[in-house]
Amino acid sequence: MKNIILLSVLAFLFIACGSTGSSDVSSSTGKAGSMARFAISGDYLYTINEREMNVLDVRDASKPKKISKIHVPFDVETLFAYNNNLYVGSNSGIYIYDKRIATQPTRVAELSHAQSCDPVVVSDDVAFVTLNTGSDCGKDRMGVNRLEMVDVKIPESPKLIKAVDMWEPKGLGIDGNNLFVCDGSNGLNVYDMNKSDINGTVKVNITVKEILSDIDCYDVIAQNSNLIVSNHDNIRQFDYSSFPMKEKGKIK
């Protein structure tokens, strides 16, 4: 648990630095991990709990103001901002909210999947979703362990592109063509991701770049060749400007 909290703190440090190339590419915001239940976009912080999404005005960081709350399905888990939308991962599917009216996001689509834990990240109009049968959401259920890729170019009409079976994937991150997936005890998997769009048909291919089998990781943050990895024992940092990656240090 302490590493989950620490990863959240590090995410806020990314935010505080005003880094670009974030989960919300439409503004200069920070970048949180895929397991996060919050997202900052422009002047607003979005958070989710079991029943609602809260919208807070954070223009004055010392005095955040709660603006509104929106009802969400009961099984939501994660939140990710990308362009004009918020992507909410849940036990049963992905919900897409339009946030062009920033204080009042509205649900525009839902894509159902097998009953499994479900973090989601989005890049270049493709959503990457990991489904796993973890104890919190897959126990005694017919869950699956796989990576799914979804075409969200038209947010109102998401389409499954392909699915790849995995061991027990959890958190994931993407930066450019680099896709990082925490695959439980199978290790941290790094893929080269290539997307093509031929006559409106989107295809995504991934090939293995590197596997760090000694890391049973929970979540990752990837930005500007700096990878922050949360596992059971510590937080580890890697430089992925070249492969194999170079470890930069650990935080216990």
- Where residue 83 sits, what CATH number does that domain have? 2.120.10.80
Q: Which long-range contacts (CB under 8 A, 24 or more apart) does 146-153 make?
A: 147/172, 147/181, 148/113, 149/204, 150/94, 150/111, 150/126, 151/125, 151/126, 151/202, 152/85, 152/87, 152/96, 152/122, 152/125, 152/126, 152/127, 153/125, 153/202
pLDDT of 22 above 50: no
Residue range 14-19: mean pLDDT, rounded: 38
Look at the chain and report how many structural domains it folds into: 1
pTM for the predicted model, two decimal places: 0.86
pLDDT of 4 above 50: no
Residue 23 pLDDT? 47
Tens of pLDDT along 76-98?
889 999 999 999 998 888 999 99
Q: Which domain holds residue 200?
A: 2-251
Given pLDDT bands bounded at 50, 70 and 90, which one contains residue 142?
A: low
Residue 24 pLDDT? 60
Tens of pLDDT along 170-180?
999 999 999 99
